[in-house]
Amino acid sequence: MKILTVDIGTGTQDIFLCDSRLDLENGFKLVLPSPTMMIHRRVRQALAARTPLLLTGHQMGGGPSAWAIEEAARAGIPVYMTPSAATTLNDELEKVEALGIKIISEDEAHGLSSIVHRLELRDFDFELISKTFEDYGVSLNDLEAIAVAVFDHGNAPAGVSDRQFRFDYLDERIRAKNSLSSFAFLSSTIPKIMTRLQSVADSAGELPCPLVVMDTAPASVLGASFDPVVAGRKQKIICNVGNFHTLAFRLGEMGIEGVFEHHTGEIDLPKLESLLRALAEGTLKHEDVFNDMGHGALMYAQDKFEFGKDDFDVVVTGPRRSMFRTRDDRPQTIDHGQSSIVHGRLRPYFATSYGDMMIAGCFGLLAATAEVIPGLTEAIHGSLRDGRGGGVAPWDN
């Protein structure tokens, strides 16, 4: 069994090829610049050369790519975008045009002169990834599945907050199936409102196998749960500190007990720890986060999760996890006898599933694929259980 997993973030795209003939720790992996960073660099090169830009393709992750495109438009360089590509900046195309960007049809794009620097927007480029593996003698022609994770706000109706819209969606998914895997879909079953997930499927082209798509943060949290220390806890809080978004799940025997999501740039460690304490106590309210320019919070259990029962308080993963490090920039030492709070702080545990934090999301994608494609469940569970992760899987508890 071979499954390709691709976790696409703001800074990097983390790629792991699961091959059941190998221990997971020996699987082939790539950590490469994210697609949005690749577009950012190419747009900046065109800006330096004062070359007109034509952007076609599909909706993809914004952030760096959007900032560079907007900067080019402000600099007076002609910028043309097809409608589907323009939704990378905003689902409301009149707002894109207000930036000085000209929206043109696909036919008009074909007719533009060769002087225009053409860039195709897409989050997932299977052909490029396949070629990279092929250059190292590894074929992707015999895959059983492909799983891709991206962050998707969803297509909020005009006048509706995209932050509120996303949390209404999270609530709907959790109530439908109280599991982190509820945020994963076969490409044929993607909700219509999740336009970025759909764009991944649309841009994938002809694939040799089924495609599963998933939200990035639940994938990372699910992947972190395979750390052997974390997997042994029946109740825990796992916090994924991403480049743009920080999301924490409180997990128990019945599934998801609570969740909040904030913008990483809007919080510091004291604020984050305050939110985590409220999540543990069952007192966190949606407005506590939403009114602070975050996305929001959901609580499904009001009983108290007590810090100090275990040798750590919160499980931490994600590219900005260093927020939890001590002042001398070293991880806090876990002492089985110490109190719950060290110098007023929560004690973090930095999860390392199968020896590599960077591809935690890929392991989460694997686990979710086992739920979405029942025919692969036994094989995937076998790889995750036997992959030198400690021998304990979350579903064994």
Spans of all domains in the chain: 36-121, 232-351
The CATH architecture assigned to 36-121 reads: 3-Layer(aba) Sandwich (3.40)
| Count of positions (residues) in the chain | 397
Model confidence at 330, in pLDDT bands (50, 70, 90)? Answer: very low
pLDDT, tens only, 259-273: 999 999 999 999 999
Residue 311: predicted pLDDT = 83
What is the mean predicted confidence (pLDDT) over 355-372? Answer: 95
Residue 334: predicted pLDDT = 42
Which residue blocks in the chain are alpha helix, DSSP H?
35-49, 64-74, 83-86, 93-97, 106-111, 126-135, 162-176, 195-204, 216-224, 228-231, 269-281, 286-290, 360-372, 377-385
Least confident of 52-61, 68-77, 202-211, 325-334: 325-334
Does pLDDT of 394 surpass 90?
A: no
Residue 393 · residue 382 · CB < 8 Å: no
Residue 254: predicted pLDDT = 86
Residue 185: predicted pLDDT = 97
Task: Please enumerate in sequence order all residues whose Cβ is within 8 A of that of 106, keeping only pairs 6 or more positions apart, or say none.
Answer: 56, 82
Average pLDDT, the chain: 90
In angstroms, the CA 9 to CA 263 distance is 14
pLDDT, tens only, 111-157: 887 789 999 999 999 999 999 999 999 999 999 999 999 999 888 88
Does pLDDT of 391 surpass 70?
A: no
Residue 84: Cβ-neighbour burial (10 angstroms; 0-12, 13-18, 19+): middle
